[in-house]
Homo-oligomer: A and B are copies of this chain.
Amino acid sequence: MDARVDTASQAAELRAAIRAGRHDGRTTGLVPGMVQANLVILPAAWADDFRTFCHRNHQACPLIDETAPGTRSLPRLGVDIDVATDLPRYNVFRDGVLVEEATDLTSLWQEDFIAFALGCSYSFEGALLEAGLRLRHQDLGVKVPLYVTDMATAPAGPFEGPLIVSMRPFPPADAIQAIAITSRYDQVHGAPLHFGDPAAIGIADIDAPWSGAPPVLHPGEVPLFWACGVTPQLVLERARPPIAITHKPGHMLVTDLLNAEFARAA
């Protein structure tokens, strides 16, 4: 209980530092053990379709909370969260095009905005590390490789597009453990969608990721592919809402929830 209060207060302190402009860098690895969330902000007219899209594509877009109309808080995720100021960096899209980066949304905020918080792979990566597994991209200090697949998301209104996956390699025995563990985290992408042959999900060349660093696989290792939270960003670009705002990748909403609370009972 003490540990929980302690890390929750560390998360609140980090958000306060971000809000005050004292931290505008990545949140990766900060306040370990706490859930970090992806953020998507849309005008209310677009929110219903986006919510439906998330529900239909739960593995890529695990919706964990949203703001009530007219508010900027997420009381279930943390004390005194202000989604307009508490993330280090935001990407602002107009008509589907990234037009600017911001560290504070106060001047851009519209009364009709709804902010959606989506689960993020940092939670399950934390659980894998706690189980003693190694993450190759972390060991190498590079970004996890992402790929566009030939698997379509289930569309909702204007929102549609291909599923994007992240890849992490493991020897088979570790892969089994990684699958078992992440299957209990269905609010943060859950189990992988695929392992093994990349071509089976439309990845022509595993050495040429769409984003992130080219992977390094050791002999006998198997690539595991998880639905990725970047999927909704690509979907937003294709849907071209007049305005949409997301976190900048790596610059997340740090919540007061423990990753361990996200593991569901089987």
Measured CB to CB, the residues of A under 8 A from B are 172-173, 175-177, 179-180, 183-184, 191-197, 200, 220, 222, 263-266
Contact = CB atoms under 8 A, between A and B. Distances in A.
Contact of A172 (B172, B176, B184, B195): B195
Nearest to A186: B180
Contacts of A264: 266
23 contacts: A172-B197, A172-B200, A173-B194, A175-B195, A176-B179, A176-B183, A176-B191, A176-B192, A176-B193, A176-B195, A177-B191, A180-B180, A180-B183, A183-B183, A195-B222, A196-B196, A196-B222, A197-B220, A200-B220, A263-B266, A265-B265, A265-B266, A266-B266
A196 B172 contact: yes
A193 B177 CA distance: 9
A175 B194 CA distance: 9
Given A176-B193, A184-B266, A266-B266, 20 more contacts: A172-B194, A172-B197, A172-B200, A173-B193, A173-B194, A175-B195, A176-B183, A176-B192, A176-B195, A179-B180, A179-B191, A180-B183, A180-B191, A196-B196, A196-B222, A197-B220, A200-B220, A263-B266, A264-B266, A265-B266
A195 B176 CA distance: 8
A95 to B, nearest CB: 36
Nearest to A265: B265
Contacts of A265: 265-266
Contacts of A220: 197, 200
Contacts of A183: 176, 179-180, 183
Contacts of A172: 194-197, 200
A206 to B, nearest CB: 15
Nearest to A184: B266
A187 to B, nearest CB: 13
Nearest to A195: B172
Contacts of A173: 193-194
A227 B265 CA distance: 24
A254 B196 CA distance: 38
Contacts of A193: 173, 176
A184 B181 CA distance: 10
Nearest to A177: B191
